Structures are given as C-alpha cells and as structure tokens.
Amino acid sequence: MRMPGLTSIFLAAGRVLAGPATAQTEPSATPTTAAGALDAPAATTPPEYMGNTAAAPLPEAPGALPDPTLRADGSPLLQAAPGFGQPADREIGLQSQVTPTGREAHWFHNQVLLPLIVFISLIVLALLVYVVIRYRRAANPTPSRTAHNTLVEVVWTLVPVLILLAIAVPSIRLLAAQYRPAPDNAVTLKAIGNQWFWSYEYPDHGGVSIVSNMLREQGEVEAGQRYRTDADGPRLLATDNRVVLPVGVPIRLITTATDVIHSWAIPAFWVKLDAVPGRLNETTFTIEQPGLYFGQCSELCGARHAFMPIAVEAVAPEVFAQWIRAKGGTMPEADSPSDAPPMQPGADEGDTTTTPTETIVPNVTNVTIDDTVRTVPVTDAAATQNGGGLGQTDQ
C-alpha cells in the first residue's frame, strides 16, 4: 500500500529535477535558440519614455542592436559637463570652439577684433576728453573759425579704410570656410524646424530620422513621465532625443522648416544657419572633440521660440556607426558622394551642373503640423510633448 505512493512521489520528483537540466542543456546544443532570444521585445526595445522604437532587424543580426549612447535603463550614457559645450554662469567671452572654423573665428575675435575695438574706443575717448578740456569756454573764449584741415580730413578718411581692409581679409576667408562644399565622405544631417521642436533626418544612412523635444522640469510633468535631470543638460537646453554625430568626419548640415523661419545654432561649432520654409540652406563643419554640445533656435519663431533646444552628442565614428544600425539604418560606402539635396556645384571635381533648390513643402501656408512630419517617427511619450501634442499649438 505504501510502495506505490512512494514510487509516485519519486517519479514526480524526478520529472521536476529533470526539467531544469533539460532546459540548461538545450541552448548549448542548439545555437539557434540563443539567437532567437534576441528577438524578444523585452530585451531589445528601449524604455517607452525615451520616445524610441526597436530598430528593424539587420542582415548581420537577428534582432535590434542596443543603442550605444544609452545605458541599460534607458538613461543617457554621456552626461552634460558644466562649462563645456554649454553656457556658463557669469562667463565673459565665446564658448570654447571644437571645429576648425570655430577655432579660426575664436582667434579672429580675440586677437584681432577685440584689441581693435578696444584701441578705437580708447582713441575716440581720448579725443573727446581732449576736445572737452582744450576747447571749453574758459580755456578758449575766442573760438577758431577754421573750417577745413586737409591733413585731418585725409587721416580720418584713410585710417578707417585701412582698418576695414585689414579686417576684410580674414573675414572673407572665414566666411568662405563656413560655406565650402562638403567632401564626398561627409555625413549629411538634415535639420527641420517646426513650431516648436526639431526633427532630423540622416538621408545617406537608410533614412534614419528622429524627433527632438525639450525636456521639462520635474514639477511640470505628471508622475511617471520623464523629466530633465542634470545628466540630461541645463534647464531649457536638454532634449529627449539627442542628435548623434561622428568626431573627425565632415558634417554636411542642411536646414529647412515647415512653418516659419527658424535657425539651427550651436555656439561651440560656430554654426548658425537659418531654416526657411520651402528652401534648403547648407553649411559644413567638422567636430574635433567628443562631448555633449547644446544650442537653441536663434530666430524669433513664435510663442515657444525659447523652448526649441538643440543637443548634439559627438561620438567616435565606430560608435556612430553602431548608433545608426541600432536605429535601423545602414552605413554608406566609404567616400561615396551624398545624394541628399541640394547637390552644389564644386562638391565633386568636374561637376559643373546646377541642381535647382528642392522645395520640400508644396504649399507652406496650407500645411498643418501633422502633414509635415508624418514621415518621421514621432514619440508618443507625453513627457516629451511639452503638454500640447506634437506642435504644442495650445501653448
């Protein structure tokens, strides 16, 4: 009577113990099971509050790749450094420049313009003080009736002309450097201004696109929604999705807008380029130092003009390539010319054709916000919507 009961118990215990042992040995014997685990959404999908979606599977991987700029919990890996790439409290002068053009402009400002301005101001102040003292009524009761002085007139005409000529040479060289056509190996970034947020496209990298909104303060969002922290950046400058660009590679920036005129500006890059509806503007720059850089819209564009920050994360080229693949994009062939509009004459040797300026908005006056950004992935996280939907039209 007791033996069958004990046998049943031992058999049941054996099945329980055999189950885990079988589960542990199957993955090692069948590699496809481990690869299939990468397809699980819980392991590959970034947190919902980041405003991202899982990248499309790539040929070299069975599932989405991890974002190299984020931690496992979805927080940004690179944190903002006070005094670098952002405004500093009570600081006088320009931000430290991290592009060749910016360094030249910084030198021109500090070594040429600033000393010249100080010198001219002191000279004018000295002349004013001399005139006040020398030609006051008590010291000069009988004023001179001299109407012309040839030497003085020649000096005050010739000296300003020479000063302007001296300034013009480095100024024109600096201006030409800012609008020099980008080389074939440049990374094309298309920045689109909207009321009141920025959207970005990487047209040469498989159509990767992101939408960037300002992060609000903790007391301005509902419980459970993402808010700005010191790791994200300064107040009014931190964004939910950062622009990622490689270091040491020329960047071809194209700007446009969907509604009114905006302006894409990063002081540390010496870049400020207007974004005009129905037009494409272009400039080029090369970031020399990794880091996190902040800017803002620098054109009065409406009620929430002050809430259009720009955050750029400059990373190594291999990290940038991994980020592109994590977003579902692809890397172009090495030194292949960009096919992103506009194609400027002179970008390639022997190219003498002129491509008309592309108009991306067929009817600017009648286009709504939803129509103009329907081709880019828009985050549905309420914390990044600034409380007013995609365009925040209610604020």
In this prediction, residue 69 has a pLDDT band, given cuts at 50, 70 and 90, of: confident
pLDDT beyond 70 at 59: no
**Is residue 335 very low, low, confident or very high in pLDDT (cuts 50, 70, 90)?**
low
The answer on 263 and 128 residing in a single domain is no
pLDDT higher than threshold 90 for residue 393: no
- Sort strands 281-286 and 250-257 into parallel, antiparallel or unpaired: antiparallel
* Same-domain pairing of 247 and 106: no
pLDDT of residue 191: 95
Half-sphere exposure of 7 (CA within 13 A, CB side): 4
| Average pLDDT, integer, range 182-205 | 91
Same structural domain for residues 162 and 261?
A: no
Range of the domain at 130: 100-141+153-178
Question: What is the reported pLDDT for 116?
Answer: 92
Supply the mean pLDDT for the chain: 74
Element (H, E) at 253: strand 250-257
b/e burial code for range 8-46 (CB count within 10 A of at least 16 → b) = eeeeeeeeeeeeeeeeeeeeeeeeeeeeeeeeeeeebbb
pLDDT value of position 315: 93
More confident residue, 286 or 380: 286
Look at residue 120 and tell me if it is in a domain: yes
Q: What is the pLDDT of residue 184?
A: 83
Prediction pTM value: 0.65
pLDDT greater than 60 at residue 370: no
Number of domains in the chain: 2
CB 259 within 8 A of CB 268: no
In this structure, is residue 369 part of a structural domain? Answer: yes
Per-residue pLDDT at 75 = 82
Among 225-234, 257-266, 357-366, the range of highest mean pLDDT: 257-266
Residue 339 confidence (pLDDT): 66
